[in-house]
Structure 1
């Protein structure tokens, strides 16, 4: 459902006599530093916001764990090219930059907000069909123009900007990818198990293995159905843990951890230990430094001790 218009857009107009900050050296006239698509973190968020004084910025909050996020980012990346510099697309990986999601008051992914003259404009949460998304973008550009934000990115300059170099795929990643492409989740997990045995302190390998385990559990499953089953009276441990997986697949980290913590609390003995180990896997997938994980660790300690 669109949230467009939930904020008073009239307050976003630049102040009388104000002048937008000058672009950085090498930036195109009437544009902002950077290309059509940029990745945002805590370090460059302010720069992106300042650039929205010239051209509106569409910010998509996404997570690779949620297929809806991946699909929406792909669609927006295609549309930003078609709109030929009328707006800039800013991608925020909420797993890598949770502080940006917090700053923009985003609690679920995917979520799309716009920046006009540095001010956030909520657009929508969840998926959106292409026709509806085009209509929202057209409305956004109209609103931006009424507020004096009607610049355009220089496509030639954007095209010639140096793209960040993608890290070369490792042999472990290649073998795991090929196994996943065959649909052989067990083989993919074994690739990482072998790599972990060689490098037991490598947390990235452990995170990749645990993510593969979760993807295997979710393969062919309907997250909505899993959540409904987990909420049904008398749901067993496996069903409750599947609900935690489903919540994470939908990008709701807090719901995922809450469900897994409840599974630990509600069981004893061997079942409690199974739930605890699954929760630790979820910690690794989400990221051990994430604030949600830190809170959940404290709650787990309270439950256990």
Structure 2
């Protein structure tokens, strides 16, 4: 597995795929489904014995490459053969489905079969276990804000939007006063917007044209940010919101700032436990975007 940037993209992806198929995994550190899929891909690279090469691209850090491939949500995987993309898939597929995808395109060869009795649970099993644990925690303590936030967030990460809405319904009235619940509502509202649009890509082109003709079309920028949010393009959405804030910090009673803060809440990963008196390390992406917000708001 190789981490690819714009500097080594040509060599590690384009040129390398002339000899061996290259599977490009677009991911981000904050993405829960990415953390599920990643170990599966790494395991399969070994199991397939050199029949394909795995590379990983951080879509936050390498937005130029992600844009080249039209990545709208992550995880997204693209298979490159002889310098061009031949197929791909989105989402954290289970190992069996990833194998089916690879077998359609890779040359025949020896492959280590999928293990039936693993000593450690598969990542997708871990995800399901985590979901069940959170569901139980919410049932036992309905007022536990952190547990409900984590539960609804995981449901949304897994694409289970209807289940997320059911779990969120008992506390939706608190979205105005709770930062966590407000962040979840912002995400779900963005998802509803995209569902109603039908063709989100066509709408993005319309919004791009509107913004190109009027850089202060804040309504278009906000809608564009919401569409990006719905497709898990968190940092791109925040970049768009910053464009509003740099021009008018108070627009619509700080609507852009509120959406920006909501995204920061959503992408904040769980912090590891530390010794008493120590400050846990902050995720570098979250820290960077917090600084950008502060520099704009306080300027």
TM-score by length of 1: 0.50
The verdict on how the C-alpha distance between 1:215 and 1:136 changes in structure 2, with shifts beyond 3 A counting, is closer
User: Which residue of the partner structure matches residue 170 of structure 2?
Assistant: 191
Residue 139 of structure 1: how far off its partner (Å): 7.6
Residue 262 of structure 1: how far off its partner (Å): 0.4
The verdict on how the C-alpha distance between 1:240 and 1:113 changes in structure 2, with shifts beyond 3 A counting, is closer
User: Which residue of the partner structure matches residue 110 of structure 2?
Assistant: 151
User: Which residue of the partner structure matches residue 280 of structure 1?
Assistant: 261
User: Which residue of the partner structure matches residue 279 of structure 2?
Assistant: none
Contact 1:286 1:293 in 2 (8 A): yes
User: Which residue of the partner structure matches residue 93 of structure 2?
Assistant: none
User: Which residue of the partner structure matches residue 249 of structure 1?
Assistant: 230
Residue 247 of structure 1: how far off its partner (Å): 2.0
Match of 1:54 among 36, 49, 57: 49
TM-score by length of 2: 0.51
* 1:38-93 deviation digits (Å, cap 9, x = unpaired): 9355xx599638725626468698xxxxxxxxxxxxxxxxxxxxxxxxxxxxxxxx
Structure 1 position 298 matched with structure 2 position 291: yes
Structure 1 position 112 matched with structure 2 position 77: yes
The structure with more helix, counted as a fraction of residues: 2
Match of 1:224 among 198, 201, 212: 201
Structure 1 position 39 matched with structure 2 position 20: no
Unpaired segments ≥5 residues, structure 2: 1-9, 22-34, 91-97, 143-147, 270-281
The verdict on how the C-alpha distance between 1:190 and 1:46 changes in structure 2, with shifts beyond 3 A counting, is closer
The verdict on how the C-alpha distance between 1:228 and 1:46 changes in structure 2, with shifts beyond 3 A counting, is closer
Structure 1 position 259 matched with structure 2 position 240: yes
Give the whole-Å Cα distance in 1 for the aligned partners of 2:220 and 2:110: 52
Alpha-carbon RMSD across the aligned residues, in angstroms, is 5.2
Give the whole-Å Cα distance in 2 for the aligned partners of 1:259 and 1:249: 14
Give the whole-Å Cα distance in 2 for the aligned partners of 1:266 and 1:217: 25
Number of residues of Structure 1 aligned to a counterpart in Structure 2: 216
Residue 216 of structure 1: how far off its partner (Å): 3.1
Once the two structures are superposed, the pairs formed by residues 21-32 of structure 1 within 5 Å of their partners are: none
Unpaired segments ≥5 residues, structure 1: 14-37, 62-93, 116-120
Give the whole-Å Cα distance in 2 for the aligned partners of 1:10 and 1:127: 21
The verdict on how the C-alpha distance between 1:278 and 1:6 changes in structure 2, with shifts beyond 3 A counting, is same
Contact 2:20 2:51 in 1 (8 A): no
Q: Which structure is higher in RCO with an 8 Å CA cutoff and minimum separation 6?
A: 1
Residue 112 of structure 1: how far off its partner (Å): 2.1
Residue 261 of structure 1: how far off its partner (Å): 0.6
Residue 281 of structure 1: how far off its partner (Å): 1.2
